[in-house]
Structure 1
Amino acid sequence: MFEDEFAVPSFKREFKKAKQKGLILKAHVGEFGTAELVRKAIEELELDQVQLGIAAADSRSVMSWLCANKIQLNICPTSNILLSRVENYSVHPIRKLYD
């Protein structure tokens, strides 16, 4: 999990080792960053999944790219609301991301 969503490059070596051991690669990114940061983290770390990643909802191209590359987003709406990333359930982008 990233303590700092913007620290993607500093984790490359560790993620490469994990990939070599056959682990599923996932990272916490895109809760407070941008849609492009989500894509960048996936590409640079060769992620299979993203913890949260709701920022992807801000870009149709990133959402299409996630779908085409079969990247799973593990989203927790309650966390997003408690951290004030999303105001409430009715405006949460989970439906947009799912569709």
Structure 2
Amino acid sequence: MSAAKIRKGDKVIVLSGKDKGKTGEVTVSMPKDGKVVVAGVNVATRHRKATQVNPQGGLERKEAPLHVSKVAIVDPKDGKATRVRFETSKDGKKVRVAARSGEKIDG
């Protein structure tokens, strides 16, 4: 188990940039680059030239990676941004906990 504070499947809120305040689920986590891809956030548009496979051409919209410092986990209790803390559970496992409310983030 990795000790990443933000992982794939987490519900996050964007803290800065053009999509500030938007929420979404992390679809891809890139820990080596320090980036995450969030569904419906930071959508980049590419103009595609017409090809034999796609004779129409057109616009291709795709979520671009965001730096991990621009997002924060949504607190399970009140839905606001929170920092993440690690605690040891009763059975000796390392568990992520919302610093704001003390609520467990994962199982």
Q: TM-score, normalised by structure 1?
A: 0.23
Answer 1 or 2: higher relative contact order, Cα 8 Å, separation at least 6: 1
Structure (1/2) with the larger strand percentage? 2
When you count helix as a share of all residues, which structure comes out higher? 1
TM-score by length of 2: 0.22
